Amino acid sequence: MHSTLGKYHLLFSLIKDIFTPKLFLSMQRTSQLLDKLEMPLTIEMTQKSRELAAQGHNVISLSLGEPDFDTPEFIKEAAKVGIDQNFSHYMPVPGYVDVREAICKKFKRDNNISYSPNQIVVSTGAKQSLANVVLSLIDAGDEVIIPAPYWVSYIEQVKIAGGEAVVIPTTMENDFKITPRQLKEAMTAKSRMMIFSSPNNPSGAMYSEQELRALAEVIATKKDFYIVSDEIYELIRYDQEHFSLASIPEIYDQVITVNGLSKGFAMTGWRLGYIGAPVWIAKACDKMQSQFTSGACSIAQRAAIAAVEAQPEQVGYMLTKFKERRDVMLKLLNAIPGFHVNTPPGAFYAFVEVTGALGKAFNGNKINSSLDLSMYILNHAHVSSVPGEAFGLDGYIRFSYAASLEDLIEAGRRIDEAIKKMS
């Protein structure tokens, strides 16, 4: 009898211990690596605006980095055929051979780069393509040069690999682009990689052929220095031709070209990205990917053939709309007191210099940073945006103009009204 009671007592105290917060918390210990990572502010801002919307507010979302169009019909049709033809089994890790062949043709046609299928790795989004490259090439202590403003995940992926990010800041005055001199000064014996995007997210900046050739001269001086050229916004450009760094023969062996379907084909949810790279780097990415996801979604891959085989003009209607919206958005933003924006040649973002609107207050709360201002605009104008801090450049806010003209005009009106309320 006594011993049965004793057993219950023991059981009870065990259960009690399990549910005490201390033990509970120690059970929930996450890795040191995870603790070093940031949650992308882009995703956080979107989450906050969804919460406001759930409370019944009419929130205009200009924080997300995706086209507001649906995937074109001809691509959806190709996916449906893929389903009917039972493309439902595992495939080679770097992608179906015919998909990689189609990507090679696209690289030749649009970018003047010669790749063969064994130089292509298809992944679950360009984000995974980038992660594959960074994890395959970067060791602890390697330096990775990243011009700011940069896309949020570059820095975090370098951290995961144990590398050191070396940020080169740019300004609106130099159109958010680095010069060959800045690159040269940032390079050390430890420099292993540079990651950049053109067109750029968040600034929309694009490097011209001449500017890339000048950077290539510096890159060519260090043969163990690799450049990740993120060209995911290639198709979204208005006033300038796109040029690919890997088309310069002197540095072909040093460049990894990253691209994908998310932006140009309005396929963010399909998760399809790819790289073209020297064979040994493609092989390394194949090995890395084989331990995470294996091959990318079979149906998205069948759809990818239709997308990359299409002439860029087939999705030109989106570009026409984006350009119209860009021009309206720039006018609206430039008219807001303390805001200043240049004309971005690519992508679908306005990266606004807002320092003239900082240092003011509302209801006794000081608005000192672009993060404060972005939050103020969300809470008082119900317009979501992403502060420059997310992209490594304070004093700026990114507004996406991948939204209807009606929403953009209303957003401009609300932001203007909110800014004028600060004193």
Binding site for ligand PLP (CB under 6 A): 65, 125-127, 151, 197, 201, 230, 232, 260, 262, 268, 273
C-beta closer to ligand PLP: residue 260 or 295 = 260
Residue-by-residue DSSP string for 243-300 = --GGGSGGGGGGEEEEEESTTTTT-GGG--EEEE--HHHHHHHHHHHHTTT-S--HHH
C-beta closer to ligand PLP: residue 233 or 376 = 233
What whole-number distance in Å separates Cα of residue 79 and Cα of residue 83? 6
Q: Which residue is nearest to ligand PLP (CB)?
A: 125
Shortest approach of ligand PLP to residue 96 CB, angstroms?
A: 18
Shortest approach of ligand PLP to residue 265 CB, angstroms?
A: 10
C-beta closer to ligand PLP: residue 339 or 348 = 348
CA atoms within 13 Å, Cβ hemisphere of 178: 26
What whole-number distance in Å separates Cα of residue 225 and Cα of residue 183? 12
C-beta closer to ligand PLP: residue 117 or 260 = 260
Shortest approach of ligand PLP to residue 372 CB, angstroms?
A: 24
Identify whether the C-beta of residue 294 lies closer than 8 Å to the C-beta of residue 287.
Answer: no
**Per the structure block, which two tokens stand in for 357?**
């609107």
C-beta closer to ligand PLP: residue 175 or 230 = 230
Coil vs helix vs strand at 123: strand
Q: Residue 34 carries which DSSP code?
A: H
- In the block, tokens 């801090």 appear at 389
- Bond prior to 117 in cis (omega within 30° of 0): no
Shortest approach of ligand PLP to residue 153 CB, angstroms?
A: 7
Shortest approach of ligand PLP to residue 194 CB, angstroms?
A: 14
Shortest approach of ligand PLP to residue 258 CB, angstroms?
A: 7
C-beta closer to ligand PLP: residue 151 or 351 = 151
Cβ atoms within 10 Å, residue 18 = 10
C-beta closer to ligand PLP: residue 46 or 379 = 46
Beta strands, E only, 289-410 = 349-353, 360-362, 365-367, 383-384, 386-387, 396-400
Beta-sheet pairing, 255-260 with 365-367 = unpaired
Shortest approach of ligand PLP to residue 293 CB, angstroms?
A: 12
Shortest approach of ligand PLP to residue 273 CB, angstroms?
A: 4
Q: Residue 398 carries which DSSP code?
A: E
C-beta closer to ligand PLP: residue 93 or 258 = 258
